[in-house]
Structure 1
Amino acid sequence: MEYGLFAIAMIGVLLAHLELTKWKERVRAQQKQIDELCRAIGREALTSDTVPDEVREKALRLKRAGREVEAVKVVRQSTGMDLLEAKNWVDGLS
Protein backbone atom coordinates (compact mmCIF):
# COMPACT_ATOMS: atom_id res chain seq x y z
CA MET A 1 0.00 0.00 0.00
CA GLU A 2 2.76 2.43 0.94
CA TYR A 3 4.68 1.64 -2.23
CA GLY A 4 1.60 2.34 -4.30
CA LEU A 5 1.13 5.75 -2.70
CA PHE A 6 4.81 6.50 -3.16
CA ALA A 7 4.62 5.52 -6.83
CA ILE A 8 1.56 7.72 -7.36
CA ALA A 9 3.29 10.63 -5.63
CA MET A 10 6.41 10.20 -7.77
CA ILE A 11 4.34 10.10 -10.95
CA GLY A 12 2.60 13.29 -9.82
CA VAL A 13 5.94 14.99 -9.19
CA LEU A 14 7.24 13.88 -12.58
CA LEU A 15 4.15 15.18 -14.37
CA ALA A 16 4.37 18.50 -12.52
CA HIS A 17 8.04 18.80 -13.48
CA LEU A 18 7.28 18.10 -17.14
CA GLU A 19 4.49 20.67 -17.14
CA LEU A 20 6.73 23.27 -15.49
CA THR A 21 9.47 22.63 -18.03
CA LYS A 22 6.97 23.12 -20.85
CA TRP A 23 5.79 26.43 -19.38
CA LYS A 24 9.36 27.66 -18.89
CA GLU A 25 10.13 26.92 -22.53
CA ARG A 26 6.97 28.75 -23.59
CA VAL A 27 7.93 31.81 -21.54
CA ARG A 28 11.47 31.71 -22.96
CA ALA A 29 10.07 31.64 -26.51
CA GLN A 30 7.75 34.57 -25.77
CA GLN A 31 10.61 36.57 -24.25
CA LYS A 32 12.67 35.92 -27.37
CA GLN A 33 9.82 37.25 -29.52
CA ILE A 34 9.49 40.34 -27.34
CA ASP A 35 13.24 40.94 -27.60
CA GLU A 36 13.09 40.66 -31.39
CA LEU A 37 10.21 43.15 -31.52
CA CYS A 38 12.12 45.58 -29.29
CA ARG A 39 15.14 45.37 -31.59
CA ALA A 40 12.93 45.80 -34.67
CA ILE A 41 11.49 49.06 -33.35
CA GLY A 42 14.89 50.33 -32.23
CA ARG A 43 14.38 49.93 -28.48
CA GLU A 44 17.42 47.73 -27.71
CA ALA A 45 17.47 48.92 -24.09
CA LEU A 46 14.15 47.15 -23.46
CA THR A 47 15.42 43.68 -24.34
CA SER A 48 15.81 41.13 -21.58
CA ASP A 49 19.46 40.52 -22.39
CA THR A 50 20.50 44.16 -22.02
CA VAL A 51 23.04 44.48 -19.24
CA PRO A 52 23.24 47.81 -17.39
CA ASP A 53 26.52 49.70 -17.85
CA GLU A 54 27.53 49.42 -14.19
CA VAL A 55 27.01 45.65 -14.24
CA ARG A 56 28.97 45.38 -17.50
CA GLU A 57 31.87 47.32 -15.98
CA LYS A 58 31.85 45.20 -12.82
CA ALA A 59 31.74 41.97 -14.84
CA LEU A 60 34.59 43.20 -17.03
CA ARG A 61 36.72 44.04 -13.97
CA LEU A 62 36.03 40.61 -12.49
CA LYS A 63 36.85 38.87 -15.77
CA ARG A 64 40.13 40.75 -16.14
CA ALA A 65 41.00 39.79 -12.55
CA GLY A 66 40.51 36.13 -13.47
CA ARG A 67 37.27 35.82 -11.51
CA GLU A 68 34.98 34.79 -14.37
CA VAL A 69 32.68 32.71 -12.18
CA GLU A 70 31.90 35.77 -10.06
CA ALA A 71 31.39 37.84 -13.22
CA VAL A 72 28.84 35.32 -14.50
CA LYS A 73 27.10 35.37 -11.12
CA VAL A 74 26.85 39.18 -11.16
CA VAL A 75 25.39 39.14 -14.68
CA ARG A 76 22.87 36.42 -13.79
CA GLN A 77 21.69 38.23 -10.67
CA SER A 78 21.27 41.48 -12.56
CA THR A 79 19.60 40.22 -15.72
CA GLY A 80 17.99 36.89 -14.94
CA MET A 81 19.94 35.22 -17.76
CA ASP A 82 20.38 31.49 -17.45
CA LEU A 83 23.85 30.11 -16.76
CA LEU A 84 24.82 29.42 -20.37
CA GLU A 85 23.62 32.81 -21.63
CA ALA A 86 25.48 34.66 -18.88
CA LYS A 87 28.67 32.65 -19.44
CA ASN A 88 28.57 33.31 -23.18
CA TRP A 89 27.96 37.00 -22.51
CA VAL A 90 30.92 37.22 -20.10
CA ASP A 91 33.11 35.27 -22.55
CA GLY A 92 32.28 37.88 -25.20
CA LEU A 93 33.43 40.78 -23.01
CA SER A 94 36.64 42.53 -24.00
Structure 2
Amino acid sequence: MIASAALACSAFAVAAAPIAAEAQSRRVLVCENTRKSGNTGTVIGAVAGGLLGNAVASKGVKTEGTVLGAGVGAVAGHQIAKKKAKKNCRYVYR
Protein backbone atom coordinates (compact mmCIF):
# COMPACT_ATOMS: atom_id res chain seq x y z
CA MET A 1 0.00 0.00 0.00
CA ILE A 2 2.77 2.44 0.92
CA ALA A 3 4.79 1.44 -2.14
CA SER A 4 1.85 2.03 -4.48
CA ALA A 5 1.16 5.42 -2.86
CA ALA A 6 4.82 6.42 -3.27
CA LEU A 7 4.76 5.26 -6.88
CA ALA A 8 1.59 7.26 -7.57
CA CYS A 9 3.08 10.41 -5.97
CA SER A 10 6.30 10.10 -7.94
CA ALA A 11 4.36 9.58 -11.18
CA PHE A 12 2.34 12.72 -10.42
CA ALA A 13 5.52 14.71 -9.73
CA VAL A 14 7.08 13.59 -13.00
CA ALA A 15 3.93 14.49 -14.92
CA ALA A 16 3.61 17.90 -13.21
CA ALA A 17 7.25 18.95 -13.74
CA PRO A 18 6.94 19.83 -17.46
CA ILE A 19 3.75 21.77 -16.77
CA ALA A 20 5.49 23.84 -14.10
CA ALA A 21 8.45 24.46 -16.38
CA GLU A 22 6.20 25.60 -19.23
CA ALA A 23 4.28 27.92 -16.92
CA GLN A 24 7.38 30.05 -16.33
CA SER A 25 7.72 32.75 -18.94
CA ARG A 26 10.95 34.48 -19.84
CA ARG A 27 11.35 38.20 -20.25
CA VAL A 28 13.19 38.88 -23.51
CA LEU A 29 14.52 42.19 -24.84
CA VAL A 30 13.35 42.73 -28.43
CA CYS A 31 14.91 45.49 -30.53
CA GLU A 32 13.64 46.48 -33.95
CA ASN A 33 15.97 47.37 -36.84
CA THR A 34 19.10 47.19 -34.68
CA ARG A 35 21.18 45.42 -37.31
CA LYS A 36 20.15 47.74 -40.13
CA SER A 37 20.89 50.90 -38.16
CA GLY A 38 24.21 49.47 -36.93
CA ASN A 39 25.31 48.76 -40.49
CA THR A 40 24.21 52.20 -41.66
CA GLY A 41 26.13 53.85 -38.82
CA THR A 42 29.23 51.83 -39.67
CA VAL A 43 29.18 52.91 -43.32
CA ILE A 44 28.51 56.57 -42.57
CA GLY A 45 31.19 56.59 -39.87
CA ALA A 46 33.74 54.96 -42.17
CA VAL A 47 33.15 57.47 -44.95
CA ALA A 48 33.23 60.46 -42.63
CA GLY A 49 36.31 59.14 -40.81
CA GLY A 50 38.11 58.48 -44.07
CA LEU A 51 37.44 61.99 -45.32
CA LEU A 52 38.51 63.52 -42.02
CA GLY A 53 41.61 61.33 -41.85
CA ASN A 54 42.60 62.35 -45.36
CA ALA A 55 42.11 66.03 -44.56
CA VAL A 56 44.13 65.89 -41.32
CA ALA A 57 47.02 63.74 -42.58
CA SER A 58 50.16 65.40 -43.88
CA LYS A 59 51.26 65.13 -47.54
CA GLY A 60 53.33 61.97 -47.32
CA VAL A 61 50.83 59.82 -45.38
CA LYS A 62 47.43 60.59 -46.92
CA THR A 63 46.63 56.91 -47.55
CA GLU A 64 47.47 55.87 -44.01
CA GLY A 65 45.45 58.75 -42.59
CA THR A 66 42.47 57.80 -44.73
CA VAL A 67 42.59 54.13 -43.72
CA LEU A 68 43.09 54.90 -40.03
CA GLY A 69 40.31 57.52 -40.07
CA ALA A 70 37.94 55.10 -41.82
CA GLY A 71 38.61 52.40 -39.23
CA VAL A 72 38.09 54.69 -36.26
CA GLY A 73 35.04 56.28 -37.89
CA ALA A 74 33.48 52.88 -38.61
CA VAL A 75 33.82 51.77 -34.99
CA ALA A 76 32.52 55.09 -33.66
CA GLY A 77 29.60 55.17 -36.12
CA HIS A 78 28.59 51.63 -35.24
CA GLN A 79 28.62 52.33 -31.50
CA ILE A 80 26.61 55.54 -31.88
CA ALA A 81 24.02 53.87 -34.11
CA LYS A 82 23.75 50.90 -31.77
CA LYS A 83 23.14 53.15 -28.78
CA LYS A 84 20.44 55.10 -30.62
CA ALA A 85 18.79 51.89 -31.83
CA LYS A 86 18.42 50.63 -28.24
CA LYS A 87 15.72 53.26 -27.75
CA ASN A 88 13.39 51.15 -29.93
CA CYS A 89 13.64 48.14 -27.60
CA ARG A 90 10.97 46.65 -25.38
CA TYR A 91 10.59 43.63 -23.13
CA VAL A 92 8.19 40.86 -24.08
CA TYR A 93 7.27 37.71 -22.23
CA ARG A 94 7.71 34.45 -24.10
Q: TM-score range by the shorter chain?
A: 0.3 to 0.5
Q: Which has the larger radius of gyration?
A: 2
Q: TM-score, normalised by structure 2?
A: 0.32
Higher relative contact order, structure no. (Cα contacts within 8 Å, ≥ 6 residues apart): 2
Q: TM-score, normalised by structure 1?
A: 0.32
